[in-house]
Chains A and B, each alone.
Chain A
Amino acid sequence: MSITLIGKHEKDKRACRDAYVQAMAELMEKDQTVVHVDTDLKSCINTKKLDKYGRCINAGIAEANAMGVAAGLTAAGKKTWIHSFGCFASRRAFDQAFMSAAYAKLGVKVLGSDPGVCAAYNGGTHMPFEDCALYLSVPDAIVIDPADYAMVYDLTKKLTAVEERLSYMRLIRKGVVQVYADGSEFEIGKGVTLKESDHDAAAVIASGIMVDEALKAYEKLLEDGITVRVIDMFTWKPADEELIVKAAKETGAVVTAENHNCTCGLGSVVARVLSEQYPVPVEMTGVHDQFGQVGAQDFLQEAYKLTAEEIIRNVKKVIERK
């Protein structure tokens, strides 16, 4: 792992989906076995740019079939990615992902775009707060909620190389805040500590769009004289248990932050690890067992309290509970 933190809260001008497409173009150029299967959503993530390699297959609006096809392609020796919106890449093809792919030890790589509130104007029917939950329940699967362009680029390549284990990666389609400098490298199963001191009053463990919110919360809390640790736990499964326990031991309190239902997401992963190994108070920032709804992403982040302010509230609350 070698990362360079930018963390200036500035939106990347590039769309995050292009990181996936760029990585895949480089992979397809060199490796004839790399394949992308899409489900009438190439236009949404620009995978039409991969058409020229002849291995970017449109399976139409038929996700369950596409997942089965991806399993078969994998069995036939192809390193196969399959894309749909996160809601459909999980819910609509789950039995196929579970049995035809994961149980059969076929390392299909599933890409779910528009995670959580990023589904914005497509509304509640399209807003996955449960996509990772489904994939967390698959034995030995890899579940990734990446924060930005550099991470998507790097992990697309790393996941492509994984054999036998099913992977699920979320993908934000549009521009996101740039957290890491290009060229940063990540390791599956290893979280990234972004802020750390020897007097942290709590640890904030976040992923995806919530990493930048956590960094904003860090700065505001500093002004109040509270120092917190900030960890990017993009790798929900396998989670970096060692890092989670270390943070609990050294800070004595943990706040989680996710763009997902926290009753079956990052919050519950962290709570399980801690209750088994080193119980400390935990407060969860995320969607609390609610359905999605329609609106602009800003509005939705406020509505579901996926904000730096909420993280700050939770930090203060969790410190009280120490």
Chain B
Amino acid sequence: MLTKDRKIRQAGVIFMQKAEKIQDLREFAAEIRVETLKTIGSLGFGHVGGSMSIADAMAVLYGGIMRIDPKNPRWEGRDWCVLSKGHAGPCAYATLALKGFYDLELTRTLNRPNTNFPSHTDRTKTPDVDLTTGSLGQGISSAAGAALGHKLSGRDNRVFVFIGDGEADEGQVWEAAQFAAHYKLDNLICLVDDNKNQLDGPVDEIMSHGKGLGAKFDAFGWRVIELADGNDVEAVYDALQEACIVKGQPTAIILNTVKGKGAVFAEGTGAHSSQPSAEQWEEAIAAAEAELAAIRAAKRGAGE
């Protein structure tokens, strides 16, 4: 039995460890933003908005939650991450490169002849991309199938799947939701990138979601965790920890995010794809690098 004193000290250690972890994840998210911008910027145009909004959640997944082995991308025991909103490919490519799945330089072949890094994630091309997406609405069904497959194999692999709030217009998303709840796929966790914008404009104007995406998933029998700020690394970390211990039902985490977050030319505009000038690219990359430097400096400060 622990004495009260020791308990308090141990809680303090855990608290400190978590604070450090969160710092690391913030740094990782900032790195992902820099590399995502450089990846898309190398070509000059692409889906900046939807790539940048999920950078924080990707950092948490790959930096703090998922069981992966960069040396062995097809390791049987790995957790899967599926971008059902496949156009966010560049964010995945940056994340996976930073985790060491392949050389960062390779991501700069984005969309060039014979590349392994196309606009939309492709399981036949990129290491650790487990499912092919691009036609919106399909990834969440395949993710549900994979989650069921892992269960049928008696394995405990988890499947994390990102969908967009525009993508949630697709009826297929709700067919998948129905299926996953019916089969109690508690190894399936859906991260809803609720960045309030789709291609033609704000979701509320193009195709609204009634009582909200959280209410919809709830009605389909999912556990729902709503985060007021889906770009808050700590909140996402806590939510994912919680989601991973839910039993008997799949979990949806509603991430209220900002489309284009951290890309100065895109953030706040709702822009779906962007083709800024060369100067704007430089400016945006410099700003993202400055953000990363500030996080690193704060970390060093805290460490001293």
Contact = CB atoms under 8 A, between A and B. Distances in A.
Contact of A42 (B137, B167, B200): B200
Contacts of B166: 40, 60-61
A43 B199 CA distance: 7
A296 B43 CA distance: 11
A123 B134 contact: yes
Contact of A121 (B119, B132, B135, B200): B119
A266 B112 CA distance: 29
B291 interface: no
A124 interface: yes
Nearest to B207: A60
Interface in B144-186: 166-167, 169-171
B59 interface: no
Interface residues of B, number: 30
B11 to A, nearest CB: 47
B207 A92 contact: no
A61 B172 CA distance: 11
Contacts of B167: 61
Interface residues of A, number: 30
A306 to B, nearest CB: 15
B200 A126 contact: no
Nearest to A292: B118
Interface string B13-50: 00000000000000000000000000000010110000
B86 interface: yes
Nearest to A125: B134
A40 B120 contact: no
Contacts of A126: 119-120, 134-135
A61 B135 contact: no
Interface in A99-126: 121-126
A294 B207 contact: no
Given A43-B200, A60-B198, A61-B198, A124 B118 contact: yes
Interface string B108-121: 00011111001110
B198 A125 contact: no
A40 B86 contact: no
Contact of A88 (B135, B198, B200): B135
B114 to A, nearest CB: 8
A32 to B, nearest CB: 24
B136 A294 contact: no
Contacts of B115: 294-295
9 contacts: A61-B198, A64-B171, A87-B135, A121-B111, A124-B134, A125-B122, A125-B132, A126-B135, A295-B112
